[in-house]
Amino acid sequence: DCYLEQVLTPFDRGVDFSLPARLDVHLRRLESAGLARRSVALDLGFGCGDSLACHGGRLGLSIGLDFSSGMIAAAAARPDLSAPRRSTQPAAAERARLVHRRRRGPLPPGEGELLLVRGDMRRLQPLHAGADLVLAINSLTGGSLDYARTMFSQAGACVAPGGQLWAVFPAREAMRHLEDLIARSGRPRPRGLGQVEDHSGVYVDGSGGRQKFWSAEEIDEALAAAGLRRVHRERVPYPWRLVAESGWGHFPRARRLWDWFVIGERAPAGRAMLGP
């Protein structure tokens, strides 16, 4: 409940993050096709609500799920989120089924619903196959490799036929890049920098906090295991200023550290999947 600390996020100013603009284009296409009113978005681990603000109110139903009641309260208080309501997984799943039964047509202003749910991302069974768009912005990280894999599997299972998973992951390759920069610089290791476990890719900070960092190969394997095909991947580079503020070092002339932004798609019903 007290998980309200400020963390490095792709929504920080100065981060070259294409997701908001890409999502706006995606939503406009749904609107122009008359599909927005019967579409459902599921935003997993939405934190303070930056990602929710990109789609809340623009689809028939947007569901935000987070484990922290503090984060839910912070998101509910945002002025750019219109009339969010608290709910439960079963109630949100039933509402999603009703929205999916609507006919095509325009979505009148104010008709898009936003539900906020407190829940465990390892247990999303009521929402399986219930969302046309699933977002997970640096939230499929868990505290162990098995935990993170379970979260990824559950997120993928929530994608309906023809739907997409839009996810951002801390990049394991970026941490290797940083370690190489430190080694070649001859500088002391930054005090604020923890260690990444070789066998799991889990980053352990100085206070014992744990977060799974994903390689591009691991992401592709997890997408395939979830029945999704990768249709987009790009780097989300962070300014060295923000990295330095996090206590990880400052190498302004070197390639910036990055996250992976990936879009995976489930084939429409009756259509076979192809490789990336």
Beta-bridge mates of residue 210: 204
Range of the domain at 114: 19-170+214-265
pLDDT on residue 100 = 97
d(CA 120, CA 77): 22
Q: Is residue 157 part of a domain?
A: yes
Q: Is residue 111 part of a domain?
A: yes
Cβ neighbours around 136 below 10 Å, total: 27
- Inter-CA distances, 105 with 30, 31, 37, 56, Å: 10, 8, 7, 18
Q: Is residue 200 part of a domain?
A: no
Q: Is residue 193 part of a domain?
A: no
Over range 156-164, report the average pLDDT.
98
Number of domains in the chain: 1
Cα 50 vs. chain centroid, distance in angstroms?
A: 11
CATH number at residue 161: 3.40.50.150
Contact present, 220 and 196 (Cβ < 8 Å): no
User: pLDDT grade, residue 1 (50/70/90)?
Assistant: very low
Query: Above 90 in pLDDT, residue 258?
Result: yes
d(CA 48, CA 211): 18
Contact present, 131 and 157 (Cβ < 8 Å): no
pLDDT on residue 227 = 98
Percent of the chain's residues with pLDDT above 90: 86
Contact present, 41 and 169 (Cβ < 8 Å): no
Which has the closest alpha carbon to 250: 261, 258, 242?
242
Query: Above 60 in pLDDT, residue 83?
Result: yes
